[in-house]
Structure 1
């Protein structure tokens, strides 16, 4: 059936990011808070990548994966936070459709890559604890780089079909995206078309990536728990647990938020709650991850001290 002139004029080519609808004073407070957190996040992750790069004793599979994970986290938060900060400060909330689709794609591709990295890092811990004698041969530097590359590419490819589908939809006025970034559910809500088939395909992709990687992580930790329980000494069990504790905390926070966000029908979504949860995985989690991974890691502490000593030598 051909469209009328009114229907043609109703097609939106830009969107308005609603963001946080609150008092101006509160917006400025949120800008100050989130900008400080963002600067600290980028600094912390850059420090991790730099430490692993310049310290030869950190050129190990675990730290190679950690450096790639930190780089991913820095990119992940950069996809959404700068635009959100600009909207909070200037109250300019318009975004072009191409920028919105690009944000959608990179957000979900980096999110899918994060799933893959957490699964790869769980495998690394499995080999270290369950097959320690074979660790040097099974997890070489080359192997870890290949696994890291696979996680990057896997995420970029997993998000591509949904991003292409989203970009082909027609969007109507009112063109308000009830979020602080171009998330999947708010975009679908603005569409003029029947999105049921695309939503089903997105659900299959989300479930496959999230539960597929989560299942692999649980398998790794099942074998790890069995191996740890076989250790005779309490000290040995404690050491093995400390080796995995950081990764387990990150996994718990990450999957707790994304399962809530993306493993559910879009018809039951409450965007106010979503904004709060999204702040956790877009702002808070990237902030605390380097702290969780590095705070109790003795090798990272030594690397920080060595790097500071090197900087002092260059200054003198």
Structure 2
């Protein structure tokens, strides 16, 4: 059977574009995913980042759902310590009521922001400690088995809103295994603990009402094009832009040339930033499929969450199409 493929859409705001254009791009991307055989599209909660427009994650999910027909949509993820479980249950109960059978809820415990933004969110830094308890409280609201006597989420959808635990460390793996929930590892930007975390998850998994056996999802970056060199150029441009964005958030902010960015990424100081995108498939559809199948096989992944980074939306949509179409085929890859 072909491995399931899905998408994490970062709802990026390219230089010179507006948030509205980003939302239009997200609709175009989801429509491409829908017609190309992807299982789901997820959006991540980030705050105070000028290049990412998915801060109001549930609102964006609803917007894209209204402009698509059948593909599953959800959060990958909601940073639960930023919210009360009741409010998230109400939001996703509303989404599932409006778009039955199409809504997912992935949960993370990271702030999705910096220290100052945490304060602006009125977030207590210690709130991450209650993440396991908050997940259970949220699950109770969504299933009608409230853990807070007399308090119920309204509306509560008739259908199921499946939960997923997101993570980039052993903590998330252990929690997902203990609760019997699917586990999605953020290997598209935090690759180091991938194999160890997946092993811990599988070894300690306990079946639940939602899930009888372990289910592993892993993030991977993709640049697919008709021509290998074109895909490689898309990768170069996108990762330079990413480096500029990351540098601009630190004390070394400045206007750097392409050559300076390339030299930094190749230097020991740039290693951490370069290593973040360790798992990247780039090339023609056939080359991308070979990479994704090898990557999935290395951890026995049940599903891949692909992130398509081409700066131009036309290239990004084409990458989605090429990857989805070839991953849906059963014919072996010709090396």
Same fold? TM cut 0.5 = no
Range class of TM-score, shorter chain? under 0.3
Greater length-normalized contact order (CA 8 Å, ≥ 6 residues apart): 1
Could you say which structure has the higher strand fraction? Answer: 2
Q: Decide which structure has the larger Cα Rg and report it.
A: 1
- Under a length normalisation based on structure 1, what TM-score does the superposition of the two structures give? 0.26
Could you say which structure has the higher helix fraction? Answer: 1
- Under a length normalisation based on structure 2, what TM-score does the superposition of the two structures give? 0.25
